[in-house]
Amino acid sequence: AQKVTQAQTEISVVEKEDVTLDCVYETRDTTYYLFWYKQPPSGELVFLIRRNSFDEQNEISGRYSWNFQKSTSSFNFTITASQVVDSAVYFCALSEARSGNQFYFGTGTSLTVIP
């Protein structure tokens, strides 16, 4: 079974629109960590955020915000006022304290921001 599900394969938005990327995870651990990574067209993978399972506070960083809800096992990512530079593939990932040593990645959501 997929531990991290990103149901949205591709999303297109017009510049300045808000967009939310969904991430649903599955774990039996009580201690785990969630991540988002960005892969722009140039191909490198860039870390965006880490959240541990004991911290459900939402986080905002500029135009980016993350909504962590344990009740629904979701860790969604919202970009406000999207820009062309936000066009990328975004990956959600999970690591579990008990299993350790392995990061489980979702299949990614390809976001295209149209000017």
Partner 1 sequence: NAGVTQTPKFQVLKTGQSMTLQCAQDMNHEYMSWYRQDPGMGLRLIHYSVGAGITDQGEVPNGYNVSRSTTEDFPLRLLSAAPSQTSVYFCASSWDFNTGELFFGEGSRLTVL
Using CB under 8 A, list all residues that contact partner 1.
4, 9, 33, 35, 37, 43-45, 47, 50, 52, 91, 93, 95-97, 99-103, 105-108
Q: Which residues contact 1 (CB under 8 A, 6 or more apart)?
A: 26
Question: Any idea what DSSP says for residue 42?
Answer: T
* Residue nearer to partner 1 on the CB measure, 16 or 50: 50
Could you report how far apart the first and last alpha carbons of the chain are, in Å?
38
- Helix (H) or strand (E) segment spanning residue 112: strand 109-114
* Residue nearer to partner 1 on the CB measure, 44 or 62: 44
Bridge partners (DSSP) listed for residue 7: none
The tokens for 52 are 């541990």
Query: In angstroms, what is the minimal distance from the CB of 33 to partner 1?
Result: 6
The sign one gets for the Cα dihedral 68, 63, 40, 50 is: negative
* Residue nearer to partner 1 on the CB measure, 1 or 115: 1
Query: In angstroms, what is the minimal distance from the CB of 55 to partner 1?
Result: 12
Query: In angstroms, what is the minimal distance from the CB of 81 to partner 1?
Result: 26
* Residue nearer to partner 1 on the CB measure, 4 or 19: 4
